[in-house]
Amino acid sequence: MKRTALILAAAGVLAVVVQRTFTLDDHPIRSLTHPDPAIAALFERFQERSPFRGKIFVEVGALSAAERGALEVRLRDAGYREEPLFQPPPPEQVLELAPLLPAENLRRLLGDEAIRARAEEAISVAALPGGDGYLAALQADPAGLGPALLARLTPGRPAPGGGKLRVYRSPTPLDYGRVEGVHDALLALGDRVHFIGADFFAVENYRAVKRDMLLCSALTLVLNLAIFFLFTGRWALLGLLFLGTAVSYLTGLLAIRAFYAEVFAVVLAYTSTFVGFNNEALVHLAGIEEKSRRRSLLGIWSAIGTTVIGFVVLLFGRSVMVRQMALASLGGTAGFLLFLLAYRGVLRRIRFRALEWPKATVSPGVIAVGCAACTAGIAILGLPRVETRIEEFRFQTPALGEQVAHFSKALDALALENVVAVPVTGPPGDTLAGLGARGLVEPGRHPLALWRSISEQEESLDLLREEYPRAASRLRGLLNGAGIRIETASPLTMRPLDEWEFLDRLGELGPIRWAARVGAQRFVFAGLRPGAAAPAGSALIAMSPRHHYDALLTSLSQDLGWLFLAGLAGMALYLGFLQRSLARVLYVFAPLFPSALVFAACARVTGGSLNIVHVMGFSLVIALALDYTAVAVSSDHGPVELSKVLLTGLSTLATFGVLVLARHPVMRDLGVTVAVGSGVSLLFALFVRLPARLEGGR
Partner 1 sequence: MLALLLAAALVAPPAAPLTRDELRARYAGIRSLSADVLQVKEGRFWARPLESQIRLRYTPDRIVWESLSPVRTSVVIEGDHLTVSGAGGQARELSALASDPRVAALLSFIRSLITVDLAAIERDFDVTYGVGELVATPRALSEVKLFERVRIGFDARHELAELELETASERTRLTFLRIVRDPPPPALPAPAAR
Where along the sequence are the contacts to partner 1 (CB under 8 A)? 65, 73, 76, 79, 81-84, 117, 119-121, 123-136, 139, 147, 150-151, 160-163, 166, 480, 482-486
- Shortest approach of partner 1 to residue 458 CB, angstroms? 28
Per the rule left: phi > 0, alpha: psi between -120 and 50, beta: everything else, 697 is: left
Compute the least distance from the CB of residue 145 to partner 1, in Å.
13
| Residue 521 near residue 539 (C-beta atoms within 8 A) | no
Measure the CA–CA gap between 615 and 568, rounded to whole angstroms: 12
Torsion angle of the four alpha carbons 574, 578, 580, 586, in this order, in degrees rounded to the nearest 10:
-50
Residue number with CB closer to partner 1 (162 or 177): 162
Closest to partner 1 by CB, 165 or 342: 165
CB of 266 to partner 1, least distance (A): 32
CA-based R_g, the chain, Å: 33
Give 686's contacts (C-beta < 8 A, 6+ positions apart).
357, 359, 628, 632, 642, 645, 646, 649
Helices within 364-425 (DSSP H only):
364-381, 398-413
Nearer to partner 1, 92 or 132 (CB): 132
| Closest CB 161 distance from partner 1, rounded Å | 3
Between the CA atoms of 386, 392, 394 and 398, what dihedral angle is there, to the nearest 10 degrees?
Answer: 170
Q: How far is the CB of 599 from partner 1 (least distance, A)?
A: 52
Nearer residue to partner 1 within complex by CB, 480 or 538: 480
- Of the candidates 332, 328, 335, 197, the one whose C-alpha atom is nearest the C-alpha of residue 264 is 328
3-state secondary structure of 53: coil
- Rounded to the nearest whole angstrom, what is the least distance from the CB of residue 130 to partner 1 in the complex? 5
Least distance (Å) between residue 235 CB and partner 1: 56
Which secondary-structure segment (H or E) carries 243? helix 235-257
List, as own/partner pairs, every contact residues 236-242 make where C-beta atoms lie below 8 angstroms and the sequence separation is at least 24, other chains included: 236/346, 236/350, 237/282, 237/283, 237/286, 237/350, 240/282, 240/339, 240/340, 240/343, 240/346, 240/347, 241/275, 241/278, 241/279, 241/282, 242/275
User: C-beta of 44: minimal distance to partner 1 in Å?
Assistant: 27
How does DSSP classify residue 63?
S
Residue 159 beta carbon to partner 1: minimum distance, rounded to whole angstroms: 8
Helix (H) or strand (E) holding 107: helix 103-110
Task: Kindly tell me which of 165 and 346 has the beta carbon lying closer to partner 1.
Answer: 165
Q: Which is nearer to partner 1, 117 or 341 (CB)?
A: 117
CB of 269 to partner 1, least distance (A): 34
Closest distance of CB 117 from partner 1, Å: 7
Nearest to partner 1 of 12, 156 (CB atom): 156
Residue 508 identity: E
| Cα 47 to Cα 245, 319, 370, 516, 542, distances in angstroms | 41, 20, 51, 11, 12
Q: What is the DSSP string of 433-475?
A: HHHHHTTS--GGGSGGGG---HHHHHHHHHHHHHHHHHHHHHH
Order across the sheet with 165-169: list the strands: 81-83, 165-169, 55-59, 194-197
Q: Which helix (H) or strand (E) holds 168?
A: strand 165-169
CA angle 302/304/305 to nearest 5° reads: 65
Residues 228 and 680 sit within 8 Å (Cβ to Cβ): no
Of the pair 121, 462, the CB lying nearest partner 1 is at 121
Closer residue to partner 1 in complex, CB, 64/521: 64
Q: Which is nearer to partner 1, 65 or 492 (CB)?
A: 65
Cβ 30 to partner 1 shortest distance, Å: 25
565, amino acid identity: L
Q: How far is the CB of 84 from partner 1 (least distance, A)?
A: 6
**CA nearest 101: which of 497, 523, 558, 625?**
497
- How far apart are alpha carbons 658 and 660 in whole angstroms? 5
Of the two residues 129 and 233, which places its CB atom closer to partner 1 in the complex?
129
Q: Are 152 and 450 in contact (CB under 8 A)?
A: yes
User: Judged by CB, which is closer to partner 1: 129, or 537?
Assistant: 129
Question: Of 81 and 409, which CB lies nearer to partner 1 in the complex structure?
Answer: 81
Give min distance, CB of 403 to partner 1, in A.
22
User: Would you say 101 or 542 has its CB closer to partner 1?
Assistant: 101
